[in-house]
Copies of this chain bind each other. A is one copy, B any other.
Amino acid sequence: MTELKNDRFLRALMREPVEFTPVWMMRQAGRYLPEYRHTRSSAGSFMDLCRNPELACEVTLQPLRRFPLDAAILFSDILTVPDAMGLGLYFAEGEGPRFERPVQDEQAVKNLAVPDPEVDLRYVMDAVRTIRRELHGSVPLIGFAGSPWTLATYMVEGSSTKNFAKVKGMMFGRPDLLHQLLEKIAAAVTLYLNAQIEAGAQAVMVFDTWGGVLSPGDFRSFSLAYMERIVQGLRREQEGRRVPVILFTKGGGRWLDAMAQTGCDALGVDWTIDLADARAAVGNRVALQGNIDPCILYASPQRIRAGVGQVLASYGRGSGLVFNLGHGIHPDVDPDHALALVEAVHELSPAYHNN
């Protein structure tokens, strides 16, 4: 493999010195970019785009052509795994994702397959290999998956949900069955992330989008325990280098201490917690990634710059921060505002490092 030219992102995740704070943006490849919308419309459906390694590579690289980002992230969807487990993912026009065969009883849990990533999710592994090749070592590539709890919410509900009625009904009424389901998903996600690492992902991130809707005890039992199992099952070295693991629970600011004990290398944090408090909670155990409110991209470049300054000041001096949004970039923001954010991080952050 080509030598990595910019490894600032990987160094920050290992809390090693960097000359400035690395930055990428969740959902940086996406609808806010006209070139993305163009590729997407030529691809057919959203899943057609995910399933085409050349096009998935193209949209992965698009934001890197515009912005001096310090990492690329695989273009894909967290629901590829349940789809490969046999649930039949589809997108109803104008609605969110849906499954033809949601998992709501004992038999459905039993019937779930644990996919072989190089067979059943081959298109993802091919995308990882293609992107790695096309990156030419410019920046590292991040692989990712959904957390077992988050995937279970979609798999049990059969779609997006506001109330989590079915999955929490199972959690309160049949915790044994939900645990069986989460075990299978955790096994599938572990294989999937290891396959991404073997295919070339240089860091991996677990998105626990819905962990924050749980009580503290339920979070530990039904979300954190399975993320920990995944962390423990991952291959952590590839191409002679550590492969850092980032866990991100949206709304999980209260649980950073527990999350830092899983053996992961970094925690994603959203904007509802100050980085100073987050850093105090995790100490020197893990790096942090975050955490500006993505809505700041609706404001002027000047205001964005001030917001970046506040986040950097809140984290303070030293390595261990990867600058990011606290959630995915919204589809209606101006790409020039995203540029203003990335540039502000690079310009304002050297003051916080030993240069």
Which chain A residues have a beta carbon within 8 Å of chain B's beta carbons?
163-165, 168-169, 171-173, 212-218, 251, 253-254, 271-274, 277, 293, 295-296, 298-300, 303, 307, 310, 330, 332
Contact = CB atoms under 8 A, between A and B. Distances in A.
A296 B173 CA distance: 8
Given A298-B169, A332-B165, A215 B253 contact: no
A161 to B, nearest CB: 11
Nearest to A330: B163
A248 B43 CA distance: 47
A216 B293 CA distance: 11
A302 to B, nearest CB: 10
Copies of this chain per assembly: 2
A165 B330 contact: yes
Contacts of A253: 254
Contacts of A274: 215-217
B254 A251 contact: no
Given A164-B295, A253-B254, A254-B253, A215 B169 contact: no
A69 to B, nearest CB: 22
Contact of A173 (B172, B217, B218, B303): B303
A224 to B, nearest CB: 14
